[in-house]
Amino acid sequence: MFLGLDVGGTFTDGVAVSAGKIISTVKTPTTHNNLLECILRAIDKVVLDTGNKNFERIALSTTIVTNALVEDKIDKVGLCIMPGPGMNIKDALPKAPYIVSGYIDHRGHEVARPKEEEVMAACRHFSSCDIFAISGKFAVRNSSYESMIADWIREKVKPSHISLGARVSGSLNFLRRTNSAYYNGAVWRHFNQFATAVEDALLSRGICGPVYVLKADGGTLPLAVAREFPVEAIFTGPAASVLGIMSMHPTRGPAVSLDIGGTTTDIALWQKGTPIFAEQGAKVAGYATSVRAFRLKSIGIGGDSFVRWEKNALKVGPVRYGPAMAVGGSKPTITDAMIAIGLIEFGDKQLAINAMKELALEGQTPYEVANMALDEAVTCIYQAVMSLLAEQEAEPVYRVEDIVQGRRINIEQILGVGGGAIGLIPLVAKKMGLSYHLPDHGMVANAIGAAVARPTLDLTLRADTVEGYYTVAELDIKSRLPKSRFTLEDASLLAEQHLAELAKVNGIFLGETELIQAEEFNVIRGFNTVGKIITCRLQVKPGVLLPSKEVF
């Protein structure tokens, strides 16, 4: 039995899934000042429902990291960077770094060794810090200097935690890795306290099962690994919903999913039955990071969106003043419009009609104004879908073939989940001329997603046959190539082995893997090919822990 929990802005949802069936669902208000309280309340309810205390897996999607950042419950981090030559990065970071000399070049060559006395000076500079983050340019090509500095710091000040850029992400982008390493350090203590509290509470209730935490890319991390990389646990709410849809999504054609909640609509794009990833990492507190995430867009339109007149135009959202008037709210909302028209049955219909009457201009019926409000909401959603599609199409590509073929996604279907979906999705589908699908249990899609999300991992293997080495930054590996004629195929086989190793270390099941980047370039000296530079990035395919035919 899988247990999934999603701590949302308003509600904390829980589901128990057994043999591809949902056997318990819980919805309980989120207790923002003590997240543990609502999590345990949801778990207790599921245990009561199912009479089961042994779970195959307990997976958690939580706002703990996001909240830590928003509420500024973050630690001071001693940030040491090795930028080498290039852009002056220091003003682009969320915190003033200490710059250490020493650098690795783009081929992974050790050009200048870092100086121990500078690192000692950095320790003095950050004397009040118990947590450090270290990041070096091109450390993903050779992480030895990052490790060297970490060793020196460990020896000198014995900090509680050190985040290394190349371990946080194996992809190029020094700026993003540095930001990721910094935030990882900044939320480390808070997340670890939370993790310990969750484990203790489960133990005291006699509930058994390995605990996982959801990532922004929809994968799950064993709690022990998440303790080292807590920044990965940010923005998991929308990811959970996307995964929930994946478990309920019967088509494999290009699609768009809309999770319409009370305040916002989260939009994601789909191809071949899987959500599309953002090419770049997510932004944290306004800073670009290497945290992998789905390509999502969130707009301020939801069931509780406030409807009002502004300069002769009917406006909807992003403001929200509480629930619909039909259920005792004080201002007209989109939900009232849907109830008044009869799209959904909920609360007191007369109150909803009154809400629309309040809005109606002279000579306008409540029905007309409700339609106008819904039109406005649908138009906002439609425009957001179009702009997300345009963003996806505008993603730069670096091969002639990709430009010529283009990247158009011709959406075939709309998938709708969330409280506002039943009323709004048919209208959006009509506007876009598409079919739609509203899966059952759409209200708790997030918790389902958390319950069934398959663990994912990715790593980047880069081989330089001229130098005779390959590196895997995530595993801190730099090794000689196993054979002389090393090909892209060899590289992907080797990457597969290392991914299996990484999966084992992280205690996750390897499952199906896929190559997400494969590049091979000849290195030529004079007019002779002297070797190759091969890069391949491999991931455990994101998905759900269900046989493909079993959908909810």
Partner 1 sequence: MANQKLGLVFFPAFDWAISPAHPEREERLLYTRDQIVEEGLLDMPCIREYKPQIAQYKDLERVHIGVPDLSSLITNAHLVSAGGAIAAADAVMRREVDRTFALVRPPGHHAMRVVHGTRGFCTINIEAIMVEYLRKTYGIGKVAIVDTDVHHGDGTQDVFYHDPNTLFISFHQDGRTLYPGTGFTNEMGSPNALGTTLNIPLPPGTTDAGLHEVLDHLILPVLNDFKPDIIINSAGQDNHYSDPLANMAITAQGYARLADKLKADIAVLEGGYSIENALPYVNVGIILAMAGMDYSKVIEPDIATCPVQSSAVTRSITAIIKERQNMWATKEKLQQEAIAQAGQFWQRERSIYYDDAGIDERQKEVVRLCPNCSGYVTIETEAHGMFGYKSAYIATIPNYACPTCQKAAYDAAYKAKKQGKQQLYFVQNKMEDRLEIM
Residues numbered 131 to 150 that lie near partner 1 (CB under 8 A) are 137-138
66-95 residues near partner 1, rule: CB under 8 A = 83, 85-89, 92
Structure token pair of residue 220 = 């799950």
520 phi, psi to nearest 5 deg: -145, 125
Alpha carbon distance 385, 296 (integer Å): 10
- Residue 523 or residue 551: which is nearer to partner 1 going by CB? 523
- Give the range of 201-209, 390-398, 428-436, 504-512 binding partner 1 by CB under 8 A: 390-398
CB of 236 to partner 1, least distance (A): 23
Residue 542 parent element (H or E): none
Please, which residue, 130 or 519, has the CB nearer to partner 1? 519
CB of residue 401 to partner 1, shortest distance in Å: 6
Would you count residue 176 as binding partner 1 (CB under 8 A)? yes
Q: In terms of CB distance, is 351 or 523 closer to partner 1?
A: 523
Based on CB atoms, which residue is closest to partner 1, 135 or 220?
Answer: 135
Instruction: Give the integer Cα–Cα distance in Å for 444 and 123.
Output: 48
22 near 441, Cβ under 8 Å?
Answer: yes
Q: Of 174, 182, 191, 294, which one interacts with partner 1 (CB under 8 A)?
A: 174
CB of 449 to partner 1, least distance (A): 29
By CB under 8 A, residue 102 contacts partner 1: no
Measured CA to CA, the distance from residue 509 to residue 492 in angstroms comes to 19
Residue 464 CB, nearest approach to partner 1 (Å): 12
Pick the binder of partner 1 from 278, 314, 475, 533 (CB under 8 A). 533
Q: Nearest CA to 287 among 180, 421, 167?
A: 180
Is 390 an interacting residue with respect to partner 1 (CB under 8 A)? no
For strands 255-260 and 265-271, give the pairing: antiparallel
CB 284 to partner 1: min, Å:
13
Evaluate whether 225 touches 507 at the Cβ level (below 8 Å): yes
CB 239 within 8 A of CB 214: yes
Those residues with Cβ within 8 angstroms of residue 38's Cβ, 6 or more apart along the chain or in another chain: 7, 12, 28, 29, 30, 31
According to CB under 8 A, which one of 120, 519, 541, 551 is a site residue for partner 1? Answer: 519
Q: Could you tell me how many residues of this chain bind partner 1 (CB under 8 A)?
A: 39
* Residue showing tokens 């959202």: 317
Least distance to partner 1, CB of residue 523, Å: 7
Cα distances from 65 to residues 61, 213, 298, 384, 415, in angstroms, run: 10, 11, 19, 27, 29
For residue 535, list its beta bridge partners: 462, 519
DSSP annotation string for 11-30: EEEEEEEETTEEEEEEEEE-
Instruction: For the beta carbon of residue 112, count every other beta carbon within 10 angstroms.
Output: 14
- Cα torsion through 421, 423, 424, 427, rounded to 10: 130
- Using the rule CB under 8 A, which residue among 285, 488, 523, 551 binds partner 1? 523
Please choose, out of 52-60, 219-227, 433-441, 517-525, the segment that lies near partner 1 by the rule CB under 8 A. 517-525
Q: Is the CB of 231 or the CB of 429 nearer to partner 1?
A: 231
**Distance in Å, CB of 479 to partner 1, minimum:** 21
Judged by CB under 8 A, the stretch of 18-26, 255-263, 363-371, 388-396 that binds partner 1 is 388-396
Q: Of the candidates 18, 31, 271, 280, which one interacts with partner 1 according to CB under 8 A?
A: 280
Using the minimum distance from each CB to partner 1, give the nearer residue, 171 or 264: 171
Q: Which residues bind partner 1 (CB under 8 A)?
A: 83, 85-89, 92, 105-107, 111, 137-138, 172-176, 280, 288, 394-401, 403-404, 519, 521-524, 527-529, 533
